[in-house]
Amino acid sequence: MKRKFIALFGGLLFTVMLSSCGGGGGKTADLANGETIYNKACIACHLKGVAGAAALDDTPRWEELAAKGMTTLVQHANSGYTGNYGVMPEKGTCMDCSEQDLYDAISFMFSKAGVEPKQ
Ligand code: HEC
């Protein structure tokens, strides 16, 4: 069980390392941290798309988000954002999250959705 998890996770990390090579620099995502943050704070809305949040299996929504670029997405997650779908609460309710934590959690969600974000 644990082994399986590590193998799966290693695969994910590898994918991100590969994709970040083509990204032209910028920050690197710590997906392990991202998963922890996601499970703590973001899963409530972003797993199934509660209250208008982008569900992890909603690929077109993540493609739409990818086009905005990570810089904008992290800013919106950090200070809260009201768009066409609903209200994203400030820091996604994770009040002790840093911008890097949010960056990691967003990167984790992109990896789950199978979409590659822009910087
Ligand atoms: C209470 C529900 C809720 C929680 C919890 C939540 N979100 Fe959201 N989030 C939303 C909704 C709703 C939207 C869509 C807003 C819109 O586009 O109308 C959204 C949108 C976003 C966006 C896109 C912003 C943009 O510019 O379009 C990002 C990035 C995001 N959330 C990240 C996170 C992260 C990271 C967490 C956890 C730390 C989180 N969210 C937790 C409801 C939530």
The single residue listed with the structure tokens 């799966």 is 8
Whether residue 96 has pLDDT greater than 50: yes
What is the distance in A from the centroid of ligand 1 to the CA of 3? 32
What is the distance in A from the centroid of ligand 1 to the CA of 52? 9
Domains, the chain: 2-113 (1.10.760.10)
Kindly report, residue by residue over 7-55, the tens digit of the pLDDT. 655 555 555 454 544 444 467 999 999 999 999 999 999 999 999 999 9
- The pTM of the full predicted model, rounded to 2 decimals, is 0.84
Strands of 6-117, DSSP E: 81-82, 87-88
Task: Work out the average pLDDT over 73-86.
Answer: 98
Task: Supply the pLDDT for residue 14.
Answer: 53
Residue nearest to atom 1 of ligand 1 (CA): 45
Report the alpha-carbon distance of residue 9 to residue 4 in Å, rounded.
8
Question: Could you report how far apart the first and last alpha carbons of the chain are, in Å?
Answer: 34
What is the distance in A from the centroid of ligand 1 to the CA of 83? 10
Percentage above 70 pLDDT, the chain: 78
DSSP-derived secondary structure letter, 72: H
Task: Supply the pLDDT for residue 27.
Answer: 79
Residues framing ligand 1 (Cβ under 6 A) = 37, 41-42, 44-46, 51-54, 65, 68, 72-73, 76-77, 81, 83-89, 92-94, 97, 102, 105-106
Report the alpha-carbon distance of residue 77 to residue 31 in Å, rounded.
17
DSSP-derived secondary structure letter, 117: P
Residue nearest to atom 2 of ligand 1 (CA): 45
Structure tokens at 7: 């193998």
